[in-house]
């Protein structure tokens, strides 16, 4: 990284982090650029040095969320994890980002439609690519006998629905670490609600 741009990039990251927190507390539409500027100790005019507007911040939050998630998945693929363990790690990623960057998750789920057309198309393509990556894990598990035969696309949708919606009810202050909560959710998804075999 160019030493001349490093401070500006750090400042941009700080602005995005604080904006995501404000979006979590007040909602995207309830947060103004004045609010964001005040939260990072800038005047609104100075904020335009880093971002053209609130839409730019929204785009970057979506990009960051997907880039982090897919980077974790791509790194994992080098280790050839057993399919069940692989699914646990995928679930753990989501719970971890909910615990650490809750505002990012809320924005990603609730404000996708506020993206401009070009950004929405790009994010949609990246979402689809990540879904295919997870679907491949499930398909591989079926091939190896680790999972029962199933509709892999439906399985991915159910998995994402269970994990992503956790931002509505999972709060780390409840005392559950992300990994513990991920395991509990994984256990429920893997074994269902029926009795354990004798």
Sequence-separated contacts (24+) of 163-170 with Cβ below 8 Å: 163/90, 163/91, 163/94, 163/95, 164/94, 164/105, 164/109, 165/109, 166/94, 166/95, 166/98, 167/98, 167/102, 167/105, 167/106, 167/109, 170/95, 170/98, 170/99
Structural domains in the chain, CATH included, are 1-51 (1.10.10.60), 53-191 (1.10.357.10)
Residue 89 is predicted with a pLDDT of 95
Note whether 70 and 133 are within 8 A (CB). yes
pTM metric for this prediction: 0.85
Mean pLDDT by runs of 10 across the 198 residues of the chain is 66 90 88 92 89 90 90 90 94 91 88 89 93 95 94 95 90 77 90 73
């Amino acid at each position: 990284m160019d030493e001349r741009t490093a401070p500006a990039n750090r400042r941009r990251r700080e602005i995005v982090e604080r904006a995501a927190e404000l979006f979590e507390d007040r909602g995207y539409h309830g947060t103004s650029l004045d609010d964001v500027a005040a939260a990072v100790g800038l005047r609104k005019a100075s904020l335009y040095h880093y971002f053209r507007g609130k839409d730019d911040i929204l785009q970057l939050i979506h990009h960051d969320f997907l880039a982090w998630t897919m980077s974790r998945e791509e790194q994992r693929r080098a280790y050839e994890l057993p399919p069940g363990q692989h699914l646990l790690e995928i679930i753990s990623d989501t719970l971890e980002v909910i615990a650490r960057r809750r505002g990012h998750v809320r924005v990603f789920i609730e404000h996708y439609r506020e993206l401009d057309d070009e950004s929405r198309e790009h994010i949609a393509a990246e979402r689809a690519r990540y879904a295919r990556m997870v679907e491949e894990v499930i398909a591989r598990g079926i091939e190896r006998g680790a999972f029962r035969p199933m509709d892999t696309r439906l399985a991915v949708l159910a998995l994402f629905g269970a994990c992503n919606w956790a931002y509505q009810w999972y709060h780390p202050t409840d005392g559950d670490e992300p990994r513990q909560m991920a395991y509990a959710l994984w256990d429920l998804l893997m074994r269902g609600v029926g009795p354990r075999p004798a």
